């Protein structure tokens, strides 16, 4: 059973710089039409935490979902 | 992974830095290192000066003191003498630390006073409008160098090492794990420890220098950084526009400033007892 991860994006702190969008190996994030970053493929997340570690605004949190 | 929110003043978030600014990531690296070493929040005091780097102490939930431009290390040295049991951390920028405060930096290194200095190098004066700094690369564009910077930059790590610092390292925002490791080592080191973190300023520096997004600036860091242990595999020509990262210098032989000071106090007080000074 592969691990499942939750990805939370805090819209109040996110400045849509796009670092998470570019660094995510599974394209979990996307820019929406209004230029804001959104979580679109949470189920694909592999938990590498590239986004959380490099987010300059502490807006992204990734944690493993309890089975 | 550390819960970073335990160490932040949440009412100061979102912080004031521009989208994609590396300062927030450097703060995360510092917090991760502090958490790893198990310091209590009250044991730590963070000094900053003026500039974008100085805003780090607005969001860090430690004892924080914001000082005048470039004089951070002078304040911090005084504080360390009065309260040697505290862990003193100085966060400065390339303008604050290498230009205005350049003299304080070399003398703090010369004294080998037990302070950890983190210099966030974003190659530009961000807050005041994008003027070039002594660490801006030659040829880079800035508001005060519209035809390209003609001055060669300092290698600030070499400078601080030559001045007498006993731990010197360089990381980047891209190499975040290395940066966390270097800050951890610097905090555990007794003596003047110095970590330069190459950071990105997409608004003040990147958009004038063909790197429009924070991502492009992080890729620049990835492509131009060479681990110091791998450096001898490259020719001089290859290393021309690159910079070395990693643990650049450690010296355990020099006496720390407080130790010299305490030895002096001891010598004099023993002399007094014997009736001579």
Cα–Cα nearest to B169, from B243, B226, B224, B248:
B248
CA-to-CA distance for B28 and B258, rounded, in angstroms?
A: 30
Q: Print pLDDT tens along chain B (277 aa).
A: 788 999 999 999 999 999 999 999 999 999 999 999 999 999 999 999 999 999 999 999 999 999 999 999 999 999 999 999 999 999 999 999 999 999 999 999 999 999 999 999 999 999 999 999 999 999 999 999 999 999 999 999 999 999 999 999 999 999 999 999 999 999 999 999 999 999 999 999 999 999 989 999 999 999 999 999 999 999 988 888 899 999 999 999 999 999 999 999 999 998 777 655 5
ipTM of the complex as predicted:
0.93
The C-alpha of B134 sits at a distance from chain A's nearest C-alpha, in angstroms, of: 25
CA-to-CA distance for B105 and B210, rounded, in angstroms?
A: 32
Paired tokens of B110:
């010369």
Question: What is this structure's pTM?
Answer: 0.94
Kindly give the residue spans of alpha helices, DSSP state H, lying in chain B: 23-37, 56-59, 72-82, 94-95, 102-111, 156-163, 176-188, 214-224, 257-273
Residue of A nearest to B180 (CA): A53
The reply to whether residue B25 touches residue A55, judged by beta carbons under 8 angstroms, is yes
Are the C-beta atoms of B194 and B249 separated by less than 8 Å? Answer: no
Size of interface A-B (CB pairs under 8 A): 56
The reply to whether residue B20 touches residue A23, judged by beta carbons under 8 angstroms, is no
Paired tokens of B226:
């060479």
């Amino acid at each position: 059973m592969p691990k499942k991860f939750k990805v939370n994006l805090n819209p109040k702190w996110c400045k849509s710089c796009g670092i998470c969008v570019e660094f995510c190996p599974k394209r979990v994030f996307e820019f929406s039409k209004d230029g804001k970053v959104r979580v679109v493929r949470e189920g694909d997340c592999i938990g590498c935490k590239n986004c959380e570690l490099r987010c300059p605004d502490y807006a992204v949190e990734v944690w493993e979902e309890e089975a | 992974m550390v819960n970073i929110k335990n160490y932040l003043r949440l009412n100061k978030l979102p912080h004031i830095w521009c989208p994609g600014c590396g300062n927030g990531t450097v703060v995360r690296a510092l917090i991760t290192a502090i958490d790893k070493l198990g310091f209590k929040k009250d044991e730590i005091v963070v000094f900053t000066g003026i500039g974008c780097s100085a805003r780090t102490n607005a969001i860090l939930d430690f004892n924080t003191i914001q000082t005048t431009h470039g004089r951070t290390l002078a304040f911090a040295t005084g504080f360390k003498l009065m309260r040697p049991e505290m862990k003193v951390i100085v966060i400065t920028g390339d303008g604050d630390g290498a230009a205005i405060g350049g003299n304080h930096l070399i003398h703090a290194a010369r004294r080998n006073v037990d302070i950890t200095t983190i210099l966030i190098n974003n190659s530009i004066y961000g807050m005041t409008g994008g003027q070039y700094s002594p660490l801006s690369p030659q040829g880079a564009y800035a508001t005060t160098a519209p035809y390209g910077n003609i001055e060669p930059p300092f290698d600030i790590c070499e400078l601080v090492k030559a001045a007498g610092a006993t731990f010197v390292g360089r990381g980047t925002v891209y190499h975040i794990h290395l940066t966390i490791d270097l800050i951890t080592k610097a905090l555990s080191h007794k003596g003047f420890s110095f970590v330069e973190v190459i950071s990105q300023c997409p608004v003040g520096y990147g958009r004038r220098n063909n790197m429009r997004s924070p991502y492009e600036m992080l890729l620049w860091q990835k492509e131009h950084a060479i681990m110091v242990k791998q450096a001898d595999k490259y020719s001089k020509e290859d290393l021309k526009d690159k910079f070395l990262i990693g643990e650049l210098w450690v010296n355990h032989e020099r006496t720390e400033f407080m130790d010299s000071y305490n030895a002096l106090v001891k010598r004099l007080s023993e002399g007094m007892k014997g009736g001579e000074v």
